[in-house]
Each structure stands twice: as C-alpha cells, then as structure tokens.
Structure 1
C-alpha cells in the first residue's frame, strides 16, 4: 500500500487538480487517502468530534454548494446550507426555501478534511465529511463572488474553522 500512496503523492504533486474520487478509484484507495496524498499545504484534518461545531457554523456563511457523490451520481445544491437539529441519531436539516433538506447520521463522521486546491484553473475550497471507511459522504464548497473568486468572507471563516494558517 505504501508504494501506491507514494506513487499517488508524486502524481498529485505534479497535478493536484483532478477529480479526487476518480483518482482514488483508479489507485484503489479511499478518498481520504487520496486527499492526504495531496501536498500538505492543500489540506487540514479535524477529527469527527468537531462535526457539530462545523455543521452548525456553515449555515451562517451564505451561499455554498453542497455535494453528495456516490460514484454513480453527483448531486449538487447551491444556496444557503440549512440549519439543523439533532434527534434520533441524526442531524436533521430544516427545509430551505429551495427545498433542500435531509438527515445526516450523527456518528458517521470520522474526520473532516478541509481542502484548498486548484480545480479547473481556479482555487477551490471545500469541507469534506468522511466516514470511518475513508469515504466522503458530504462536501460543502465555498461560494464565489461576481468575479468567480472564492468569497473572501467565507475563506476567512474556512481558515478559522480549520485552524488553517494563511
């Protein structure tokens, strides 16, 4: 496995902008391992113990893009991330005006990977909620301003939440 991860680290050092799910599948590793093969300045990790703090802060950030990628489909919702409450083992998202709602298993979060890297010629930043198997079940991408750049206010909050040193 070490050889596979070493090869992947070299590949991602040369080109960190690919679709990580595809790269992980190609190298037969979980997504968390693929992310951790990116250059160290592109990611930060918090334990899943920080789930509640992170998930409750994001609704105050404004418009973001929320993604669930099962491999067979990629589901995206752009807009404010919903507020939620804990009940019956789930974090229950309250329905937004656009209809976005759902339920996130409370104890599913093993770690949270904050990722900041180039993607399609622009800087991208996301919060990736990862289960015990190293699979990402929820991604929240920061929003963009009118010029297509990451929103500065969200990036500042992202840095603070992930303990990212600028």
Structure 2
C-alpha cells in the first residue's frame, strides 16, 4: 500500500467526509478499490473475492437489503430480499420470484470484497461491496432499514460476523 495514498485518503476523509469511495477515487485519480484498500481499519474489512458465493448465500437469509449497481454516474437500486442463487453455466444465477431481483453474476470476476462501514448522507451505513480485478465496483449490498430508518440489528450482527472472513492489510 502506498503510504502517500493512505495519507491522501485520510486527508479527504477529514476535509470531505461526505465523499463516497467512488468520488474519492475520481478526485485522487485511482481505482475505487485502491481508495477502499487505503481506508482506516475501523471503516473497512477486506475479504478475498473467492468468498462471494458464500457471502451471497448468507445475505439471502437476511431479509430486505438494498442492492446497487452504479455505472457511469447512473445508479440502479433494488430494495428487497436478495434471492438465493445457484451456480450454472459459469454464473451465479439469482432466481427470485416475481418482484424480486433476478440476475446472472460472473463471480469469477470478483477479486475483492469490502465490508464498508462509512456514513452515507449523514446516516450510519454498512455495505458489502464487490470489486473486479480492475478495481471497479461491480455491485454493492447495503444493510436494510426499518420504517424509522434504523439499520436492522440482525443484519448488523450478521455483517459483523462476516468480518471474521477478512484478511490483514
């Protein structure tokens, strides 16, 4: 890890705490993964990408979450339970019922996963973020909230358990 990048990220966190990692990456002219890897340990736990399927299988039992795909400034969100998936034809296939998320995830393209705990728009936020080998975010799963906007306690506990899968930087 470049010491200079760590210092730059620390400075941005201090001066512009509202920035999301993708915005920090744009400002620093590096990949989002490089920024996330340079965040302080209290904000992020890093996990190898080969655990993506196991994590997704676990999250399928958490209840309503927010799944986000962001491309070129456009943001697609799905709020609801992540359906269980199964491998087939080189993909991890999400086979939700009507009204649930459907998709085909190329999990062998996931090289890193971050458990990110960084406030978003002034509110506590926790996300599982999946990155490809180029350092770009493929998709994110944010913990769900009750009608009062409070993160579900059982999801926060499950998220914290996933931290045991992380590795030291």
Q: Same fold (TM over 0.5)?
A: yes
| Residue 62 in structure 1 maps to residue 46 in structure 2 | no
Conserved in 2, the CA contact under 8 Å of 1:21 and 1:71? Answer: no
Distance between the aligned counterparts of 1:98 and 1:140, measured in 2?
18
In the alignment, what sits opposite 1:24? 25
1:9-28 deviations in Å (ceiling 9; x for gaps): 22124443312212211211
Partners of 1:126 and 1:142 within 8 A in 2: yes
Determine if contact 1:16/1:117 at 8 Å carries over to the other structure.
no
Q: Deviations over 1:104-153 (max 9, x none)?
A: 10201101100011111110000001111111101000001232121100
1:84 and 1:94 in contact (8 A); partners too:
yes
Separation in 2, partners of 1:13, 1:48 = 29
Q: Displacement, 1:34?
A: 1.4
Which position in structure 1 is the counterpart of 2:95?
Answer: 94
Q: Spell out the pairing of 1:1-166 with structure 2 (5 A cutoff).
A: 3-163=4-164
Q: CA deviation at 1:89?
A: 0.9
With normalisation by structure 1, the TM-score equals 0.90
Q: Structure 1 residue 95: deviation in Å?
A: 2.8
Asked if structure 1 preserves the Cα contact closer than 8 Å seen for 2:12 and 2:24, the reply is no
What secondary structure sits across from 1:22 in the alignment?
helix
1:13·1:38 contact (CA, 8 Å) conserved in 2?
no
Instruction: Structure 2 unaligned segments of length 5 or more: list them.
Output: none
Number of equivalenced pairs: 164
What is the SS of the residue equivalent to 2:133?
coil
SS in 2 for 1:145: coil
Structure 2 contact 109–133 (Cα < 8 Å) conserved: yes
Scaled by the length of structure 2, the TM-score of the pair is 0.89
Task: Provide the rounded CA distance (Å) in 2 between the counterparts of 1:96 and 1:15.
Answer: 41
What 5-or-longer segments of structure 1 have no aligned partner?
A: none
Distance 1:24 1:64, change over 3 A: same
